[in-house]
Structure 1
Amino acid sequence: MCTGFLKVMMFIFNGAIFLCGIAGLAVGIWVVVDSDSLLGLFDFVENAPTEIFQVVVIGYVLIGVGALLLIVGFLGCCGAVKESRCMLLTFFSIVLIIFLVEVAGAILLFAFTDVVDEMFEELEGDVKDAIQRKYGEDNDMTTLWNTTMEEFKCCGYKNYTDFDGSPFNVLTRGYPSPCCSTPGIPCNESGAHMANVDGCFTKLVKFLEDNSFIIAGVALGIAAIEIAAMVVSMVLYCNAGRKSR
């Protein structure tokens, strides 16, 4: 009776682990795709610190862990049905490794978000310099900035004044269209000032902070299920060992 109940619990936990794997994959892909488009802006900054790109690493870790959880969910169910000590021990070992990776990833994420504001503030001068030298003249950079500003509804690094003195500003006497709230109307200084569109720095910091809470929430949920699944798998492992004697 007790073994049957534990098997049911293993099915429930492994079903939850399978769903968590899907969630981890989805969040990881989202982080990688969205952060790539924003962080690509720093490719044109000479002194951009490598720590900025840690958020992408975290995204790839989530993708890897999510894919592994899908496999583990299937393995745990098979181990419970067959009462295979080998499969149950393998399940326990893999889940334990995943749990430790998640703990390390959470520490990395929170350590990164603690310094993110300070780091991006320090980059402000370098990014503005790159914009004022290249925007409107370097096609790759101009296209990347335009795509990012349109997608995230932002303007410049901090605001529209970042474009002052850029080749685009000198040539058109205006600012990129995302810096103004009214599409189709020339974006001049007064229009950009009135629109007061947030800078991409503000959007990026908010993106990272929001993602950190989402990732932390997913990780905590997965961790709780993993701990419960490890306990149940060890009980089944011990019961299977007694039956084999």
Structure 2
Amino acid sequence: MDCGVITSKTVLLLLSLAFWAAAAGLSYVGAYVINTYKSYDNFLQDKYALLPAAIIICVAVVMFVIGLIGCCATFRESRVGLGLFLAIILVIFVAEVSAFVLGFVYREKVKTDVQGTMQSVFEKYDGKNPESTVVDYLQEQLHCCGVKNYSDWTTTQWFNSTGNNSVPQSCCQQEAKNCTGHLDQPQKLNTRGCAQELESGLQSVISYAMLVILGFAIVKFFGMLSICVLTCKKEESGYQPLYSGVFA
């Protein structure tokens, strides 16, 4: 067997294994992104934020199937199988590029999206409704208070109705003792706004996902090259001389 064919088959088998590993990795990334957005979905008015993550998970499922097809096609040296392998990889490559572009676009829209919806969610806070639960969770997890800073609470209906000159206790610093949320004790409160903290966190998640997608897209590119090399070698080996003599 030609050395080039052996090398190409080895590369394709390794890439098939890489596809399975990539499927597991992409599944984790997609689930992580969805779980992150799920925690803050009240602050994201449009659901297009989940589109890149949904594409990632779909790609992961197809990549597992691709790895199986790749192994079978490589062992059998089937031209049809290799052609199907190449076609599917090309489709996945396009999907990953699309997810990368969507992630880049949404990364720029995070700031306007968050700022446009967070204020309305905070205004619905009453300490009991679902919005209140989300706001408290957000402030506790991100160690923030208010949209821009803790003074934003003074303009909310909840603050005016309670009349105790205090913010929710979820604004209290974790290490603060006997914190009641009273504005007379600002040293016990988280003073940073939640909008900036949430924007930074979401942008970091999107950037991480984009790097993973880019890396796997590069793997797909080399996979397509390996299939082309193996196919070309197979075609060359198919040509047989029609004569063995020498013209006089």
Q: Structure 1 length as normaliser, TM-score? A: 0.84
Distance 1:59 1:104 in 2: 12
Distance 1:129 1:100 in 2: 38
What is the aligned-residue RMSD (CA, Å)?
2.4
Q: Select the structure that is richer in helix.
A: 1
Cα distance change, pair 59–183 in 1 and its aligned pair in 2 (3 A): farther
Correspondence for 1:216:
210
Distance 1:162 1:202 in 2: 14
Which stretch of structure 1 is more off in the superposition, 95-104 or 202-211?
202-211
Correspondence for 2:119:
128
- Aligned-pair identity in percent equals 23
User: Counterpart amino acid of 1:6?
Assistant: S
Matched, 1:175 2:167: yes
Which of the numbers 25, 28, 41 marks the counterpart of 2:43?
41
Cα distance change, pair 141–108 in 1 and its aligned pair in 2 (3 A): same
Correspondence for 1:161:
151
Alignment of 1:1-245 (within 5 A): 1-42=3-44, 48=45, 50=46, 53-121=47-115, 123=116, 127-132=118-123, 134-136=124-126, 139-169=129-159, 170-171=161-162, 172-181=164-173, 182=176, 184-192=178-186, 195-241=189-235
Contact 1:17 1:69 in 2 (8 A): yes
Q: Which structure: larger Rg? A: 2
Shift in Å at residue 94 of structure 1? 0.7
Distance 1:26 1:167 in 2: 41
How many residues end up aligned between the 2 structures? 233
Correspondence for 1:45:
none
Distance 2:231 2:135 in 1: 56
Distance 2:62 2:29 in 1: 15
SS at match of 1:135: coil
Distance 1:118 1:190 in 2: 32
User: Counterpart amino acid of 1:24?
Assistant: L
Q: Could you list the runs of 5+ residues in structure 2 that have no partner in the other structure? A: 240-248
Contact 2:12 2:74 in 1 (8 A): yes
Distance 2:92 2:172 in 1: 47
SS at match of 2:145: coil
Cα distance change, pair 129–78 in 1 and its aligned pair in 2 (3 A): closer
Contact 1:76 1:91 in 2 (8 A): yes
Cα distance change, pair 129–81 in 1 and its aligned pair in 2 (3 A): closer
Distance 1:193 1:129 in 2: 27
Residue deviations 1:182-239, cap 9 Å, x none? 2652111143465334333222211221122211211121011111111111222334
